[in-house]
Amino acid sequence: MTMKKVFIITLCALWGTVVAAQQVDVLHYGIDLTINDATNQIAGKVTLNLQYLQQTGKLKIDLAGMKVSEVLSKGRQIGFEQDANALYLKVHARAGDKAAYTVVYAGTPKDGLIISKNKYGDRTFFTDHWPDRAHQWLPCIDHPSDKATVTFTINAPEHYTVVANGVKVSEERLPAGIKKTVYDEKVPLPIKVMAVAAADFTVTHSGDVGRIPVYSYVFREDASHQGYARATQILPYFIQQVGPFQFEKLANIQSKTIFGGMENAGAIFYAENSLDFERLESLLAHEIAHQWFGDAVTETDWRHLWLSEGFATYMTLLYMEHTYGTDTLKASLKEDREKVIGFAKKRKTPVVDTTVHSNYMQLLNANSYQRGGWVLHMLRRKIGDEQFWAGIRQYFKDYNGRNASTDDFRKEMEKASGQDLKGFFTQWLYTAAIPELQMNLSYNEATHTVKMEVIQQQSPLFEFPLEYTLDKTKPLQQVMIKERVTTIMIPAETKPAGIWLDPDTNLLADIAK
């Protein structure tokens, strides 16, 4: 996901959702939704096929703001209760039991399903689920750890074009000017990237990447814009570098998302003004990278969000490096480093932030995005390109369709590199500080020697390689920094004009000028 105002990479309560996620594993959602042009009220009939993970007498399903009229199991009504944030089913289940429940409900969504008008005044419907807003209109387990397949059946006025995750199975005209559209997604998804939209779209088949059709859905007034077609050139890079694209189509959709982009699986939503964004190519790359990281491989919990946003951030930089050269990568890394330094001065939290238990929007910050991307860059430099990509590919292969934690990723990279990476991960991902470096220089005319002192001003101390060069003309040198003060003696026939630290932009540090 990309935040709207901090462009590119600048993307229910936790206790309740975790308990629900532990009770059951939802295997499939059958979502039957009816929308209309007269009111913002929706009617829903959602079937949850699930398996119990523990003995359960009262099943909690996340749901807020909707009025449930009945719940059916095997065609029979079952007892239920409802409060402001959840639906509770009266059940008698043992661990391992499978069941299917159909929830019939109606209401006007306050969030999660955005019913509004686009910038041209046309009525639109767009889901906007991240992080845990789906339950504002949809009975579900609103947590990234629970992944399921989904079928959308949308009954809407016939002037709407409907798009959702998966493949369009059918489109049928019904009486009274209604059209029923069915989409089916066979890849298990977290609820945060399940999506459906209905608007007056112009649809363009931008091309195919192998067997993957790529589409652009834009408002009819923007039919002449072809900016999303760039996706056909971005998608092959990630397929080659990471692994197969998991979804049966890639639709790039102009929308009313609150984000700059939202990485819904195979059906990416972009801000309605995105076609005019200066960095549209970067935005496309960011959201397409999410199809592997965030969608196919999903973080186990919000605290591991960097496995989604940090990955999409750095994968975007790698695509731009591949397309435009190393100088583009360095410029972006410098820009991102300044954002990380600025954030660190305002808020002292690590990338894996265990202090956030609600209002997960606050995790959409420079730690999750830019610092997470920087960690991947330093990891790449530490273990080498070949081992880095081998680890990334194996990580994707092993956790495709599943959930992963930061430790899961670390173990994959340790296997690929043959290195112990616990210290690296601890200091860069679980420590709030970043290195703050002060450099002192002096030149001894008698011995023709430069004395360089590098002082770590932050606490705790970090351990990292520091690259430096004299006069920007001398060969690059490297020294390991791990003490509070590190002294380096450098031979120099004449007093140098200066010493440049980290000239190739490989270190996340606040270096005093």
Q: What is the CA radius of gyration of the chain?
A: 25
Q: Is a pLDDT exceeding 60 seen at residue 10?
A: no
Q: Closest Cα to residue 277, out of 265, 289, 285? A: 285
Taking residues 6-10, report their average pLDDT: 35
Q: Which pLDDT score, from 0 to 100, does residue 394 have?
A: 98
User: Residue 20 pLDDT > 80, yes or no?
Assistant: no
Q: Supply the pLDDT for residue 6.
A: 37
Q: How confident is the model at residue 3, as a pLDDT?
A: 66
pLDDT of residue 4: 55
| pTM (predicted TM-score) | 0.94
Residue type, 486: T
Asked if residue 19 has pLDDT above 60, the reply is: no
Cβ atoms of 198 and 124 closer than 8 Å: yes
Confidence at residue 496, expressed as pLDDT on a 0 to 100 scale: 87
| Contacts for 80 with CB less than 8 Å, ≥ 6 apart | 68, 71, 87, 88, 89, 90
What's the pLDDT tens digit per position in 70-111?
A: 999 999 999 999 999 999 999 999 999 999 999 999 999 999
Distance between CA atoms of 194 and 165, rounded to whole angstroms? 6
Does the pLDDT value for residue 21 go beyond 70? no
pLDDT for the residue numbered 2 = 80
Can you point out the beta strands (E) in 5-97? 24-34, 42-52, 56-62, 67-73, 76-77, 80-82, 86-93
Query: Alpha helices of 7-62 — where are they, by DSSP H?
Result: 14-23
Fold equal for 14-236+246-282 and 436-511: yes
Res 475: pLDDT = 81
How far from chain centre, in Å, is Cα 346?
Answer: 23
**Residue 215 pLDDT level (bands cut at 50, 70, 90):** very high
Give buried/exposed letters for 15-24 (b at 16+ CB in 10 A, else e): ebbbebbebb
CA neighbor of 108 nearest in space, from 40, 158, 59: 40
Domain spans, the chain: 14-236+246-282, 301-429, 436-511
The predicted pLDDT at position 17 comes to: 36
At 465 the pLDDT is 98
Average pLDDT, the chain: 95
Rounded Cα distance between 349 and 342, Å, is 13
Percent of residues, the chain, with pLDDT higher than 70:
96
Q: What is the pLDDT of residue 469?
A: 93
Strand ranges inside 233-319, DSSP E: 250-255, 261-262, 267-271, 298-299
**301-429 belongs to which homologous superfamily?**
Neutral Protease Domain 2 (1.10.390.10)
Q: What is the pLDDT of residues 225-257, one digit of tens each?
A: 999 999 999 999 999 999 999 999 999 999 999
Q: For Cα atoms 372, 377, 382, give the angle at the middle one, nearest 5 degrees.
A: 120
Cβ-contact 320, 279 below 8 angstroms = no
pLDDT at 7 over 80: no
Instruction: Tell me the per-residue pLDDT of 451-478, one tens digit each, with 9 for 90 and over.
Output: 999 999 999 999 999 999 987 777 899 9
Beta-carbon contacts of residue 414 (< 8 Å; ≥ 6 apart): 420, 421
Model confidence over 349-375: pLDDT tens digits?
A: 999 999 999 999 999 999 999 999 999
Q: What is the CATH number of domain 436-511?
A: 2.60.40.1910
Task: Copy the structure tokens of residue 458.
Answer: 């932050």
Spell out the residues 6+ positions from residue 225 whose beta carbon is closer than 8 angstroms to its own.
218, 275
Give the pLDDT confidence score for residue 322 in this predicted structure. Answer: 98
**CATH class of the structural domain 14-236+246-282:** mainly beta
Tens of pLDDT, residues 384-439? 999 999 999 999 999 999 999 999 999 999 999 999 999 999 999 999 999 999 99
**Token pair listed for 387:** 């081992």
Given a cut of 80, whether residue 513 has pLDDT beyond it is no
Per-residue confidence (pLDDT) for residue 472, from 0 to 100: 72
- pLDDT above 80 for 9: no
